[in-house]
Amino acid sequence: MLAGPHPPVPPDLAARALARGRRLLAHRRLLRRIGCLLAVLALAALAWLAVSRPWLPPPAHTTPPSEGW
């Protein structure tokens, strides 16, 4: 099987493989950066929610009348 004729290999095979590998690494790097950015934004949103507590009513600036005591 190995002694038979070998198929011809394109002369630019190594260059194409190198270019494809660089593209794959660039895409992975981009996806990793986007994921990190989304994680930081999610942590910032959670910190904002923990500090501001938007689900609570705003505090009253005046005291209720104290009649009847």
Tell me how far apart the alpha carbons of residues 45 and 51 are, in angstroms, rounded to a whole number: 10
pLDDT reported for residue 2: 77
Distance CA 38, CA 10 (A): 42
Q: How many CB atoms lie within 10 A of CB 6?
A: 7
pTM passes above 0.85: no
N- to C-terminal Cα separation, the chain: 105
Residue 4 gets which letter from DSSP? S
Sequential pLDDT tens for the chain (69 residues): 678 888 899 999 999 999 999 999 999 999 999 999 999 999 999 999 999 888 888 877 887 777 776
